[in-house]
Amino acid sequence: RSVLGPFWITISMGVTISAMGPLYGSLFSSGSENFIMHLTLGMIFWAFLSATINESCGIFNESASIIKQSDLPLYLYILRVFYRQFMIMLHNFIIIPFVIFFTNTSVNLDILLFIPAIVITSISLISTGMILAIFCTRYRDMGPVVQSVVTLCFFITPIIWTSEQLPKGRKEFVDYNIFYYFMEMLRKPLMGTVPDVTIWFYTIITSIIMLMVSTLVLTKYRSRIVYWL
């Protein structure tokens, strides 16, 4: 049995950040200590968001035998995915104090804004997971498409680069990228700054819309899912 267990994921994340930090800091001329913190939080939160989305796509197919034999609420399967990835994210949080120490990043009471930020993100993520799980069960080819889109979004979202590095003519990569708003909402409180009102507005509206859509989709297709498995 593994002695470190899930902490191997944290170690892998820490090694990745240690290698990418100086490299991308040099490539993008962002050698500042803030960039290391920006990258660390970006990698941790992106791993949480992307893994939850990708894993949700196949959760009903993976749980087909249970779904066929029981009448458990379908949200429980999405919550299981969310809980697993949330716990992995908490394990990865162990990296943050070390980054704060070595980069002298200031931490203040703005960190408390992370609480509503993670709540808003969770609502949107669980709702999105439900929608994707239903449609990926109906259309099996949709899963790989979602994974490809998520991979693409990694490169067009400010994770290994910052939004300030974009030229004026390329601001659409952040202006029309919903991942950007969620990443900034989660990241800024831990970097000692307050997310802009615009960020709160777009993320809250998105969460409300996704919750409503997921409720409607689940209500309409709940009885059909078992026949699609």
HSE on the CB side for 142, CA within 13 Å?
A: 16
The pLDDT of 97-113, averaged and rounded, is 84
Residue 92 CA to residue 95 CA, distance in Å, equals 6
Evaluate if residue 29 carries a pLDDT over 70: no
> Quick check: is 1 in a domain?
no
Percent of the chain at pLDDT above 70? 93
Evaluate if residue 23 carries a pLDDT over 60: yes
How high is the pLDDT of residue 24? 74
Residue 114 CA to residue 145 CA, distance in Å, equals 31
The pLDDT of 128-135, averaged and rounded, is 96
The pLDDT confidence band at residue 2, using thresholds 50, 70 and 90, is: low
pLDDT in tens, 148-167: 999 999 999 999 888 887 77
The pLDDT of 30-56, averaged and rounded, is 88
The pLDDT confidence band at residue 32, using thresholds 50, 70 and 90, is: low
> Quick check: is 22 in a domain?
yes
> Quick check: is 220 in a domain?
yes
Residue 17 CA to residue 85 CA, distance in Å, equals 19
Cα–chain-centroid distance for residue 122?
A: 9
Residue 191 CA to residue 32 CA, distance in Å, equals 13
Domain that holds residue 32: 7-228
Against a cut of 0.75, is the pTM above it?
A: yes
> Quick check: is 101 in a domain?
yes
How high is the pLDDT of residue 5? 65
More confident residue, 101 or 197: 197
> How many structural domains does the chain have?
1
> Quick check: is 138 in a domain?
yes
User: Whose CA is closest to 98, among 41, 30, 22, 24?
Assistant: 41
The 3-state secondary structure of the chain reads CCCCCCHHHHHHHHHHHHHHHHHHHHHCCCCCHHHHHHHHHHHHHHHHHHHHHHHHHCHHHHCHHHHHHCCCCCHHHHHHHHHHHHHHHHHHCCHHHHHHHHHCCCCCHHHHHHHHHHHHHHHHHHHHHHHHHHHHHHCCCHHHHHHHHHHHHHHHCCCCCCHHHCCHHHCHHHHCCHHHHHHHHHHHHHCCCCCCHHHHHHHHHHHHHHHHHHHHHHHHHHHHHHHHC
The pLDDT confidence band at residue 106, using thresholds 50, 70 and 90, is: confident
> Quick check: is 2 in a domain?
no
